[in-house]
Amino acid sequence: MRFVPLLLIPALLIAAEPDWKTVDAESIDLLQRYLRIPSINPPADTRAAAELFKTELARVGIEAKLFEAGPKGQTNLVARLAGKDRAKKPLILMSHFDVVPVDRAAWRMDPFEGVIKDGAIWGRGALDMKGIGIMQLMAVLTMKKYEIVPDRDIVLFATCDEESGGDLGVRWMLKNHPEELEAEYVLDEGGFGTRDVLQKGKLVFGISVAEKQPAWLRIRAKGTAAHGSQPIPDNANMTLLRAIEKAMAAPPSGKAHPIIAEMLKTIGGAMDANKFTNAIQKNTLTLTTMKSGVGDPPRANVIPSTAEATLDCRLLPGVNAQEFISEIRARINDPRVTVELLTTIDDTPATSFTTPLFETLKRVIKKHHPGAEVTPMMVPYSTDSPKFRRKGLPAYGFTPMILTAPILATMHSDEERIPLDQFHIGMHMMFDVIRSEF
Ligand SMILES: [Zn+2]
């Protein structure tokens, strides 16, 4: 009789379902500890965040590799959960350690405390994207702990500087350690589930397959410096104001992208009109900064010789950025004004959404949210995904949570937070995805 329990142990281990109550509690604790690390970019010192991941992975016997990419502690991490089928290339679960800065005065709590309040965890990075990072990490830790072997290798990849374009993150890793990122698929941030952003009352899950091209423009006006007591026609401030007005006067051009047609087909009707649906259907221009004046603080009685502003323009995939800029110059049509492109344009076509992984994502979403419609999606903001799409890998933006418009609006803004119930379901979804065969 003494031997019976021993014989049962392997069978129990193989069949065991995770104890979700414990896993959920651990995942909240882990997210709180992660949010308490102020991995603000700049300078994107992500050593502490990388160490947190590394320590948790080591506890279940997974060795993580850290890659220091810059002099200020900018650190990337790669860890691998071995799969059954060595012939299949891995799935990469990608996230970023870094977060954008905060305006502390606009928060009712410490943005780096991981406060739990009103059914949510509050903190910089909760949505973008420490919450998803922990879902990915917990899914891997749980698989390993319960000895569930995935079909193919799962590579956990967390980077240090997504928020400033990825030069020391994805770009640096692809250049210096491409062998670590040999894969067939990538899951990243991007799309999300919503009941109020695309069509009121309809539950739609978007998996992003395309995003707009950021074309940031600096508009600079030159004029004559003079005494503020005597108005002159050649005032750089006035020239700049008129230039901005002319640049933005006509409605933004751009014809709908085929992904939009796909979204409309899935949603079954028109999209609601709001800032998100507007942005994914058109080329947009946003006035983001204005700088002028002489002295610090700028003098009120001096007319400066230059004044400048930036326009954050986002172009639909397939739009020729140089033609767009020529159009802006033609609209302004003033020799005193220059228009300069500040970003590198890398137009990236949409990634395929007819893959076995896309079908798996769809199935997992419908398992946890019966009745949800699942659609490939365009997103207006930038992620690291295009860097893989350009290499021909399907990279999907998969945020496995239903988010309301007000919660989404806290991203890069004040009082960023993530609903606890969605965080838990999202983690279970991530687990279901990596345990599937695709
Ligand atoms: Zn992000």
pTM: 0.91
- Please check whether residue 164 lies inside any domain of the structure: yes
255 C-alpha to center of ligand 1: Å?
27
Mean pLDDT of 353-382: 97
Same domain assignment for residues 318 and 399: no
**CATH number, domain at 50?**
3.40.630.10
383 C-alpha to center of ligand 1: Å?
6
- Please check whether residue 320 lies inside any domain of the structure: yes
- Please check whether residue 205 lies inside any domain of the structure: no
pLDDT category of residue 1 using cuts at 50, 70 and 90: very low
Same domain assignment for residues 166 and 282: no
Total count of domains within the chain: 2
- Please check whether residue 192 lies inside any domain of the structure: no
188 C-alpha to center of ligand 1: Å?
9
- Please check whether residue 364 lies inside any domain of the structure: no
**CATH number, domain at 265?**
3.30.70.360
- Give the pLDDT confidence of 413-430 residue by residue, as tens digits: 999 999 999 999 999 999
- Percentage of residues of the chain with pLDDT beyond 90: 93
Task: Please give the pLDDT value at position 402.
Answer: 98
Q: Is the pLDDT of residue 7 over 80?
A: no
Domain boundary among 297, 316, 341: 341
Same domain assignment for residues 117 and 44: yes
Q: Which positions ≥6 away from 373 have C-beta within 8 Å? A: 202, 203, 204, 205, 266, 267, 268
Mean pLDDT of 135-152: 97
Same domain assignment for residues 155 and 83: yes
Q: Which residue has the tokens 């691998």?
A: 80
Q: Could you tell me the residue range of the domain that residue 84 belongs to?
A: 16-184+394-435
Same domain assignment for residues 316 and 415: no
76 C-alpha to center of ligand 1: Å?
15
Of 134, 259, 252, 148, nearest in space to 198 by CA: 259
Same domain assignment for residues 240 and 178: no
- Please check whether residue 360 lies inside any domain of the structure: no
Same domain assignment for residues 49 and 158: yes
Same domain assignment for residues 238 and 149: no
Mean pLDDT of 1-17: 53
Task: Please give the pLDDT value at position 11.
Answer: 46
- Give the pLDDT confidence of 95-139 residue by residue, as tens digits: 999 999 999 999 999 999 999 999 999 999 999 999 999 999 999
- Please check whether residue 143 lies inside any domain of the structure: yes
Mean pLDDT of 312-324: 94
- Please check whether residue 260 lies inside any domain of the structure: yes
128 C-alpha to center of ligand 1: Å?
4
Distance CA 208, CA 211 (A): 8
* Cβ atoms of 390 and 348 closer than 8 Å: yes
Same domain assignment for residues 269 and 335: yes
Same domain assignment for residues 150 and 231: no
Query: Which ranges of 16-126 does DSSP label H, i.e. alpha helix?
Result: 20-35, 47-59
- Give the pLDDT confidence of 373-387 residue by residue, as tens digits: 999 999 999 999 999
Task: Please give the pLDDT value at position 14.
Answer: 53
165 C-alpha to center of ligand 1: Å?
10
217 C-alpha to center of ligand 1: Å?
22
pLDDT category of residue 434 using cuts at 50, 70 and 90: very high
